[in-house]
């Protein structure tokens, strides 16, 4: 119930936000979901550039020098970006200054795309992606996070959650006669907001990125069915479904696979009308 009221508050802010000049809302062009955004695209791009520079300047970060690792990543990234420029995010995708770095870290299975178009792929993702088509599913997913402004939305939700808890704290009163009761109540409200509101929105972001990501991969000429194989390998390598879905910012592997299969007919319809790219194997790492 608490989470429902909080979401209702966010919805009301979206309805009146245009009039108060402090917040804005947009609708995801693929899913129709309303998003509360309290930062501008320019601010997000600036933060993305700063984060990217921090990653690249980290003395522990080692860019790959191996063309066998760099070339497939750049090839997939270029095709995903071109698909993004044809997508419903075309206007933003055309404004971003896209760049990708391959990080030589065989133990880190990760990739990211930041607002503004700065991307990185860690070589540790290669065994899970297996092929360029699998990598396209990964990169399509990450590019959607940037284009759909998911990071800015999470920050905005956190700001609203903090404001909401301050208001509730004032309403219930942190009594000087019994301060422990007030502190316990605020702690409970904090946990309630985190589990009931912020994490579920993060799971929505992940599912949204999965869905739109396979559409981008398909439009780029990569077989979207590789996304299912990717997450099956993810599940096997993580030893199962991982932590409880309720307390996770990501859907469980099983949920993810089920959703991908539901969306597959739409993605396949796109893929079948594109010149398909070969599912070239990625180089082996860690040896």
142 is catalytic: yes
pLDDT average, residue stretch 243-262:
78
The model's pLDDT over 229-249, given as tens digits with 9 standing for 90+, comes to 999 998 887 765 445 554 566
In the structure, what pLDDT confidence band is assigned to residue 21 with cuts at 50, 70 and 90? very low
44, 69, 132, 142: the catalytic one is 142
Q: Where are the domains of the chain?
A: 21-161+192-271
Q: What is the pLDDT of residue 236?
A: 84
Per residue in 24-81, pLDDT (tens digit) is 788 999 999 999 888 889 999 998 899 999 899 999 999 999 999 999 999 999 999 9
Q: Is the dihedral of CA 65, 66, 67, 73 positive or negative?
A: negative
Q: Kindly indicate the confidence band of residue 86, based on its pLDDT and cuts at 50, 70 and 90.
A: very high
| pLDDT of 162 over the 90 cut | no
Span 176-191, pLDDT tens digits: 444 443 444 334 334 3
- Position 245 scores a pLDDT of 53
Residue 137 near residue 217, CB atoms below 8 Å: yes
Sequence-distant (6+) residues with CB within 8 A of 171 are none
Residue 133, Ramachandran bin (φ over 0: left; ψ between -120 and 50: alpha; else beta): alpha
- Can you give the pTM of this predicted structure? 0.80
Which pLDDT score, from 0 to 100, does residue 1 have?
A: 43
The pLDDT assigned to 38 comes to 85
3-class secondary structure, 251: coil
* Stretch among 61-75, 154-168, 198-212 having the lowest mean pLDDT: 154-168
What average pLDDT does the chain have? 81
């Amino acid at each position: 119930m608490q989470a429902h009221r909080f979401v209702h508050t966010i919805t009301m802010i979206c309805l009146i936000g245009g009039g108060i000049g402090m917040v804005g809302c947009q609708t995801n062009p693929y899913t129709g979901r309303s998003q509360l955004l309290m930062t501008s695209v320019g601010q997000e791009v600036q933060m993305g550039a700063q984060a990217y520079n921090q990653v690249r300047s980290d003395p522990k970060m080692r860019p790959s020098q191996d063309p066998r690792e760099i070339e497939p990543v750049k090839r997939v990234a270029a095709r995903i970006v071109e698909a993004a420029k044809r997508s419903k995010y075309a206007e933003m995708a055309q404004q971003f200054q896209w760049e990708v770095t391959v990080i030589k870290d065989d133990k880190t299975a990760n990739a990211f795309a930041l607002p503004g178009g700065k991307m990185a792929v860690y070589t540790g993702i290669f065994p899970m992606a297996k092929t360029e088509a699998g990598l396209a599913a990964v990169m399509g997913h990450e590019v959607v996070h940037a284009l759909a402004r998911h990071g800015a939305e999470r920050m905005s939700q956190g700001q609203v959650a903090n404001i909401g808890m301050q208001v509730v704290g004032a309403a219930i009163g942190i009594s000087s006669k019994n301060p422990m009761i007030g502190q316990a109540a605020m702690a409970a409200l904090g946990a309630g907001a985190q589990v009931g509101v912020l994490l579920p929105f993060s799971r929505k972001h992940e599912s949204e990125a999965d869905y739109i990501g396979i559409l981008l991969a398909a439009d780029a000429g990569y077989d979207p069915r590789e996304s299912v194989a990717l997450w099956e390998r993810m599940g096997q390598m993580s030893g199962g479904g991982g932590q409880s879905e309720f307390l996770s910012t990501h859907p469980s592997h099983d949920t993810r696979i089920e959703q991908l299969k539901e969306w597959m007919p739409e993605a396949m319809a796109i893929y079948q009308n594109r010149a398909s790219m070969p599912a070239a194997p990625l180089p082996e790492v860690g040896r």
